[in-house]
Structure 1
Amino acid sequence: MDQNRLSSIALHFIPGIGSRTLRQLVSYCGSAQDVFRASRLTLLQIPGVGPVTADAIRQGRPWKQAEEELTRARKAGVSLVLYTDPQYPSRLRAIEDAPSLLYLQGNINLEHKKIVAIVGTRRSTEYGKSCLESLLEGLAAHDALVLSGLAYGIDIQAHRLALKHGLPTVGVLGSGIDVIYPAAHRDTAQKMLQYGGLLTENPFGTKPDAHNFPARNRIIAGLCDALVVVEAADKGGALITADLANGYFKDVFAFPGSIRQQYSNGCNQLIKAHKAHLLTSVKDLEYIMNWETPQPVVTPEAAPTYSDYEPEEQMVLRTLWESAAPLMLDALSGRSGLPPGQLASILLTLELKGAVTPMPGSAYRMNLSTHGKTTAVA
């Protein structure tokens, strides 16, 4: 068994050591093994490490717990992913309070191209359910991964609608990965393992205590590209998650609601305070996130000839067609070899001809439906 890996797991079972302190210890000492080898004096010189923590490291030898955890994970088909592992999700690694250890179960790809987190009240209304249904139907065309917390209300509906529309979905737990909470959602959690899965930072057997859920919310906020609040009251976990996402510089969206409905107050306040983009349909999310609307694409047999265009226009169109995705002005200039000033003039002409479409952020895409045969894809 890899002794350094075992040491890394063992550090998680020493009381008083959180993710930040753990990373600090490993960074100063060089490895998890060296943390246990360090003298008390050395440990006390590390910022954030006081006498209690130093003594706990020196006196604690939780090797047996670490070995049992690894054995249990292997039997349950659970992957233990350390912060230092190459497969640790890059989006989560970017936040300063990222978990130092993740438990993953299922068929999970946390490097999915598009990840949307959905949160909201546990007491969802028919209006909220309708908004959610419309959103998930739109996200299906993008093959987005749907992230939520498996809780009552909006969370579980998001997971179920994702499964309904064939989208991968991941539940982030505030408990051990073997403790499904609430238990009523166990069947849905089991289905999610086939196309998505479950994730937590908590050891096996951890109960869903209240203090675990704010920590769980930071994982949801850290893993997503966009966070959507469907319904929320004045206070609660959904608003905490939205604040965290804003702090991580993620795009936050909220469905507006009636000023007379309690569970629209939180969403309306987020929009009013400019802490969330107004969301009325998936098109708003596509626009803000610069996600192109799914459209027909040209088959190889029907590659456009551009014979009706000037040579420079043909060069721009060919560059966009080969990219198969919107290009920013600078990137388009670099790939086509045309100076930005001349390129801007050509793009305006092509836009007037209906050959290209401008996108948010000074990006452009080719209107494929105007060039030859097409085949519809999601």
Structure 2
Amino acid sequence: MNDQELFYLLALQRVEGVGDIIAKKLLTHFGSAEAVFKAKSSQLASIDGIGTILLKNFKDSSVFAKAERELHFVASNPITVTTFQDVDYPERLKHCFDSPLVLFSSGNIDLKNKKTISIVGTRQITSYGLEFCRKFIEDIAPLNPVIVSGFAYGVDIVAHQLAMENNLQTVGVVAHGLNQIYPKAHKKYVAKMEENGGFMTEFWSSSNPDKENFVRRNRIVAGMTEATIVIESAERGGSLITANMANEYNRDVFAVPGRVTDKYSQGCNTLIKTQKANVLTSAADLIYMLNWDLEKDVKSVQKQLFVALDEDEQKIYDYLLKTGKELLDLIALHCDFPIYKISGILLNMELKGVIRPLPGKLFEAI
């Protein structure tokens, strides 16, 4: 998009009363933001949602000065601007009716042909949530997904850190302009994240991390990803808002179950109980539910010449060598493992390239 059209697009955003939905209607009808401003009042009034007050607001010339300042800020910084009409706009987000008109980003974000999941949860992450998140991201790392979160305290920053530790691209969707970092304590992670991933926002440089911005931010987190995972949440929390938004966008939602007495498992347990989320006990659950082709993806991972199996994996491998192939339930029964545990073990063995899944929940040794 050329600077002139971007200038008018930014100006359109600053017309009071014009939100993302109305702006898209105008652009679809008139073809460009510049054409919107050059249209007659009678033409504007023909668009559903444009009333007398809004027509008056289009005469406010101050929107052009505001657009000029923001355009100058963008040009003076390493920031990429993507509009919902651009091919680089996140494909899944583009199909959300209330998706942002414009996205500002920094770093090296690449979402093309990528598996993209969001990981959210409480700001008061417990050791249980931390260990689950660590194991989950380690197990899913060979599939090279993009990890999206909100760069907040707790689950968010843990997800970003673990993604970086496993050399995965990670994107922080923030609730303010890219001229600042919030929380300031996380400034130390910025450079590393921008090396392989980065930051994304719909907010201008004049926007502060106000409370209402976080709810708007959440719809981007939910809308741009294939699935949203809630690691831990109290009975009420921002991550539950994200999960509900993901459901509204017809995205898959997963929640990690916990003890009924644990404060930060209440939200997850409720999501599962009300059938607003799938149970997530291991990376294998996600891969199965999303129908990711594990065998195909693992081919892109350099195969180890010598695969080290732990005691549990060796037990299962020896059993499969004898039987040739077997059902998951029977593997658990004959090898004396609970179902919740064996799913994770089998996934690790798949990633190591020593077994392969077959239709009907069958597995065989390679």
Fold in common (TM above 0.5): yes
Aligned to 1:109: 110
**Within 5 Å, which residues of 2 pair with 1:79-98?**
79-98=80-99
Cα distance in 2, alignment partners of residues 296 and 56 from structure 1: 55
Aligned CA distance change for structure 1 residues 85 and 293 (closer, same or farther; 3 Å): closer
Equivalent pair of 1:214/1:237 in contact (CA under 8 Å): yes
Cα distance in 2, alignment partners of residues 265 and 29 from structure 1: 49
Cα distance in 2, alignment partners of residues 65 and 145 from structure 1: 34
List alignment gaps of at least 5 residues for structure 1.
300-353, 371-378
List alignment gaps of at least 5 residues for structure 2.
302-354
- Aligned to 2:195, the other structure's residue is in SS state coil
Aligned CA distance change for structure 1 residues 2 and 156 (closer, same or farther; 3 Å): closer
Deviation at 1:211, TM superposition (A): 0.7
**Within 5 Å, which residues of 2 pair with 1:52-63?**
52-63=53-64
Opposite residue 288 of structure 2, the aligned amino acid is Y
Aligned to 1:11: 12
Aligned to 1:165: 166
Deviation at 1:61, TM superposition (A): 4.9
**Within 5 Å, which residues of 2 pair with 1:1-378?**
2-293=3-294, 297=299, 357-358=358-359, 370=366
Opposite residue 155 of structure 1, the aligned amino acid is D
The one-character-per-residue Cα deviations of 1:2-47 (angstroms, maximum 9, x if unpaired) are 4333211211122221111111122222321121112223222211
TM (normalized to structure 2)?
0.80
Runs of 4+ in 1 over 4 A off after TM superposition: 294-299
User: Percent of aligned pairs with the same residue?
Assistant: 39
Cα distance in 1, alignment partners of residues 356 and 203 from structure 2: 53
Equivalent pair of 1:114/1:225 in contact (CA under 8 Å): yes
How many residues in Structure 1 have an aligned counterpart in Structure 2?
311
Aligned CA distance change for structure 1 residues 268 and 204 (closer, same or farther; 3 Å): same
Aligned CA distance change for structure 1 residues 218 and 355 (closer, same or farther; 3 Å): closer
Deviation at 1:92, TM superposition (A): 0.6
Deviation at 1:83, TM superposition (A): 1.1
| 203-212 or 55-64: bigger deviation | 55-64
Equivalent pair of 1:36/1:58 in contact (CA under 8 Å): no
Aligned CA distance change for structure 1 residues 153 and 2 (closer, same or farther; 3 Å): closer
- Aligned to 1:118, the other structure's residue is in SS state strand
Cα distance in 2, alignment partners of residues 91 and 225 from structure 1: 8
Aligned CA distance change for structure 1 residues 209 and 131 (closer, same or farther; 3 Å): same
Equivalent pair of 2:80/2:106 in contact (CA under 8 Å): yes
Cα distance in 2, alignment partners of residues 296 and 51 from structure 1: 59
Opposite residue 246 of structure 1, the aligned amino acid is N
TM (normalized to structure 1)?
0.77
Cα distance in 2, alignment partners of residues 272 and 110 from structure 1: 33
Deviation at 1:54, TM superposition (A): 1.2
